[in-house]
Amino acid sequence: MTAANGHTRESPLRVAVLAGGRSSEHEVSLSSGRAVREGLLAGGHQVLWVEISREGEWRCDGELLSPTPGHGLLGADVAFPVLHGPFGEDGTVQGMLETLAIPYVGSAVAASAVSLDKILFKELMSASGVPQVDFVGLSVSTGGLGSGPSNAELLERLGLPVFVKPAHLGSSVGIVKVTAPEELDAAIEQGFSHDERVIVEAAAPGREVECAVLGRLPGDGDGDGDGATLASPLGEIVFGGEWYDYEAKYAPGGMQLIVPARIPPAAESRARGLALEVFAAAGCEGLARVDFFVDGERVLVNELNTMPGFTPTSVYAKLVEAAGIPYPQLVERLCRLARERHRRLAGLRH
């Protein structure tokens, strides 16, 4: 069957949508998963809803699942793990899907693990020469608080304010803004209550800008050039509070997305190029959202999300739509990309 754009239209897919999970972003994941389900149904695909409880149980239609390695998942053609944070976006579920031998949407184990670990990601970007916000990483395994530079040395390097973040959480969970030296110890201790690794970051001036990166299928002609990935138009995040916290991200009216971002053309070109560079350096596949701070023509990478919020009103989907790809086509493309990668890797000898 041939579609209106001249491409061959493939048969409908049977997709296992995984949502929920053990992290603090459980509810966000359910919201994203429901949106993905509706987008796939709108595209004529069959959806198997797999809900992962806060305790880690996998259920479909209320029945507890016991997947068997090498036997796929519920007879699905592809899995779409719409999971955010630890136990879902960090390579753990990706590893399980590898053992099940089922194609899955998004980055593989290593890229997922590195990208969710804010310290490892920034160290990788430093080694790749990517401009980014200055930071210091702390770890319980090396003694935690007091094992690295003193507070005075840390603040002399980073200045004030600084942001203290658990290394593996998303959606701004557990982040503390420190505006005075005496606040730093308590902020770091709070970070360690969420995670065994904590990152302390310098504040960055300028606008918060985001770019959606999306892989292309063979024969795709959308976007700029003939590269293997598409970098969307940039979106500028405008929020009412002091910084882009959880409430700003998820409360109604907490933020406004302005597309295109109000930045100079040179900065726009630099950010879109960096988005593709960072995506490749981290070894990502399928999709990612890359976040920046832009001050005039200066562009700094903030972080990369391998599975950003996925409702039609989420930043990622809006940016892809600005590139001319509607939501149902987006979620279908991601499933097709997953199957294409699975076919490619199946030809390798291990």
pLDDT single digits (tens) 216-241 = 887 665 544 445 799 999 999 997 66
Among candidate residues 37, 207, 270, 289, the one labeled active-site is 289
CB-based contacts of 252, cutoff 8 Å, min separation 6: none
Among this protein's residues, is 250 annotated catalytic?
yes
Query: For residue 198, is it within any domain?
Result: yes
Among this protein's residues, is 171 annotated catalytic?
yes
Query: Secondary structure of 142-175 in the HEC alphabet?
Result: HCCCCCCCCHHHHHHHHCCCEEEEECCCCCCCCC
pLDDT confidence tier of residue 1, bands split at 50, 70 and 90: very low
Co-location of 279 and 309 in the same domain: yes
Co-location of 212 and 323 in the same domain: yes
Co-location of 22 and 44 in the same domain: yes
Among this protein's residues, is 25 annotated catalytic?
yes
Helix ranges restricted to H, the chain: 26-42, 92-100, 109-116, 118-127, 151-158, 184-194, 246-250, 265-281, 315-322, 327-346
Co-location of 222 and 186 in the same domain: no
| Amino acid 15: pLDDT | 98
Residue 243, pLDDT > 80, answer no
Among this protein's residues, is 289 annotated catalytic?
yes
Co-location of 72 and 167 in the same domain: no
Among this protein's residues, is 5 annotated catalytic?
no
Query: For residue 41, is it within any domain?
Result: yes
Range of the domain at 302: 205-332
Among candidate residues 43, 88, 215, 309, the one labeled active-site is 309
Among candidate residues 210, 291, 321, 332, the one labeled active-site is 291
Query: For residue 343, is it within any domain?
Result: no
pLDDT confidence tier of residue 112, bands split at 50, 70 and 90: very high
Among candidate residues 25, 89, 90, 245, the one labeled active-site is 25
Look at the chain and report how many structural domains it folds into: 3
Residue 4, pLDDT > 80, answer no
For helices 327-346 and 26-42, the axis angle rounded to 10 degrees is: 90
pLDDT of 49-69, one tens digit each? 999 999 999 999 999 999 999
| Amino acid 197: pLDDT | 92
For residue 92, the domain's CATH number is: 3.40.50.20
Residue 143 vs residue 298, higher pLDDT: 298
Co-location of 190 and 279 in the same domain: no
Among candidate residues 20, 305, 321, 336, the one labeled active-site is 305
Among this protein's residues, is 309 annotated catalytic?
yes
pTM confidence score: 0.89
Among this protein's residues, is 148 annotated catalytic?
no
Cα–Cα distance for residue pair 297/74, rounded to 1 Å: 50
Among 232, 323, 320, 227, residue whose Cα is nearest residue 272: 232
Cα–Cα distance for residue pair 17/44, rounded to 1 Å: 15
Among this protein's residues, is 336 annotated catalytic?
no
Among candidate residues 250, 277, 283, 340, the one labeled active-site is 250
